[in-house]
Every structure is written in C-alpha cells, then in structure tokens.
Amino acid sequence: WRGEIKVAPGQTVVVGLERERQSLRTDSTGTVDGGFNYTQTTTTANTGNKAAYAELQSKFGKRVFLAANVRGDDNDSFGPHTTWRLAPAVIVPVTETKLKGSYGTGFKAPSLTQLYVNNPSFNSVANPNLRPETSKGYDFGFEQPLLNGRVNFGVTYFHNSVRDLINNEFDPVSFKFSYDNIGQATMYGTESFASVAFNDQWRVRGDYTTLTTRDEATGLALRNRPRHKESLTVVWTPTPKFTLSTTLLYVGSAEEFNRDGTVSRVDSDAYALVNLAAEYRLDERVTVFGRINNLLDRHYESPVGFDQPGFGAYAGIRVTSR
C-alpha cells in the first residue's frame, strides 16, 4: 500500500506499508564427508519481511529541494532494522547548475539461496550462519544544462561503506565456494553522463562509471566488480507513438576466481554488447514493446567460467489503467 499526502504547497508526504513472503524447496543440497559426492536431500525454508516507510518531498520555491525518508523493516529471520536517507538539491541562479547530494543507511538480508542451497554443479556450499549487510553511504555532484536544456552533462562521486558484506569466497582447504561475510568493505567511484537532444526525433546519451573496491581486512579488491562501465544510447522517435533505441554497452575487467578455483585472482575479460529496444503506443493505455539483447551474439563470461546468454529477442504488451 502506498499513499501521498499534500500537506502544503510544495510539501508532499509519501507513506507506505509492505509485506513480503518467500518460500523455497530444493533437492540435491546435501554433501557426504565434506567431499564432492552429494546426496539427494530436500530442503525447505521460509522467511518474510514487514516494512513501513515515510518520505517528505519538499520544494522551496523553484531552486531548493529536499527528500528525507525513513524506513523500518521487521525481518522474520533477522529482526528489526531502521534505515534513513537525506537528499538535498539546489539550482544555482544564472548558470542553472544543479548541485545535489545525499547521505543514508541501508540494510540487506541474505537470500534463502545463499543461506540454504548447495550447488553441486559448481561445488558451491550455502552458509546458514550469514549475517545481514548494513551500510552507510553518501554522494555529491552536479548537473549542468546548456542551450535551453538540449545539452546536459554531470558528474557524481559516491562512497559506500558496508559491514558484513555478503561475498562468495573459495576455500582452498575444502576446495569449495561458500558465501561468507566480509567484516568491512568500501566501494567508491564516479558516475558521469552527457546527453544531447539534436531535435525532437534524435537524442544521444553517454554514461561512464568508475568503481574502486576494497576489503578493509585484507586491502584487496572485491571480486566480480568491474572497474569501468560505459554505455552509449541513441534514441530515435520518428512519431510521438514510436520509439527505437540502440545501446552500446562496455563492461571492463574485474578481479575474479577462475571457475575451478585453482587461481584465486584473475582479471576477467572486458566485453561489449549491442542491445536494441522499441515500443509503439497503440493508445493511452496499451503499448507494444520489444527488445533484442546481444544483437551481435557475442560470447562472454561473467563471472569467469559462467557463459552468459547470446542473441535473445523478447516482446510483450503493457496495459495500464487510467
């Protein structure tokens, strides 16, 4: 349930309640004598989460904005947790530069799969003793419009500190992969973008993300986190009802295991993909859409040893009520 209350001009309070239930049943989850032979057993597990949240969306005139929210979660397995966030923004007169920032906290419970599901195919073992992740993070940056908004660019710096980060590690003694908690981890970097609207039909946007990670106990980088990610999207809207877009996505290398776990740290190969998407609005309520992922059918692995899907085409119909 979600509701909005307009308490005053420019002041809106958003409130909501959530209830989520999860259940799991899986076979082939047992292990014999700590080795590679698995017995076929059945594991069932259930959990859930209740949550309530409130957010104040404030607008002071045309140049000062503030979003402030708080959320309370009561997890069936890990108990109550409260998180919050503050996000102010200011638009500078004359230049119209938007200065923005935020600071907040986070909570993430382990999934039932991480807690209870062993995977013999990849020699992976669950960990029922996992603890939930908690985090603190902040970001700050700017956005600059030019030529009456037809050109925009911006840069944001982000910094997150995570306690008990859930991570998949390899144990050279048992020769198995298993989930574990990293006591303290840090992730920081930048997100940059630039966009140009040439006219009402053609738009181009480029995004670039840098990421640095560190396990504070060892000083080493976290695995399976690409250091660079870039995308370039071209959007064509020949009519108000039809939109076609093409995206070139580049994902840089990351530190990872090799698949059999014999090498603890290798650099994965970078890869590039081309994706297409289109949609056509039949009327105000009905939209037909489709997309093609990995148009050139590139072979790539993420993480190392795990093949990702090749060419794929999808289509659907979206219906909304007024």
Q: Produce one character per residue of 186-195: b if its CB has 16 or more CB atoms within 10 Å, e if not.
A: ebbbebbbeb
Q: Which residue has the tokens 């640095």?
A: 212
Within the chain, residue ranges assigned H as helices are 112-116
Does 300 have pLDDT greater than 90?
Answer: no
* Average pLDDT for 43-55: 94
Helix, strand or coil, per DSSP, at residue 296: coil
Angstrom distances, CA of residue 162 to CA of 61, 159, 181, 188, 248: 36, 10, 10, 11, 31
pLDDT for 161 beyond 70: yes
- Say what the pTM is: 0.86
| pLDDT at residue 201, rounded to an integer | 95
103-131: average pLDDT: 88
Q: Is the pLDDT of residue 32 over 50?
A: no
pLDDT of residue 38: 52
What pLDDT score does 306 carry?
72
Average pLDDT, the chain: 90
117 pLDDT higher than 60: yes
Max avg pLDDT among 22-26, 84-88, 109-113:
84-88
Q: With pLDDT > 90 as the criterion, what percentage of the chain qualifies?
A: 74
Paired tokens of 109: 């419970």
Q: Tokens representing 131?
A: 């603890």
- Position 169 pLDDT exceeds 80: no
Q: Would you state the pLDDT for residue 246?
A: 97
Report the pLDDT averaged over residues 296-311: 84
Instruction: Return d(Cα 212, Cα 160) in angstroms, integer.
Output: 11
Q: With 90 as the cut, is the pLDDT of residue 262 above it?
A: no
Contact 184, 155 (CB under 8 A): no
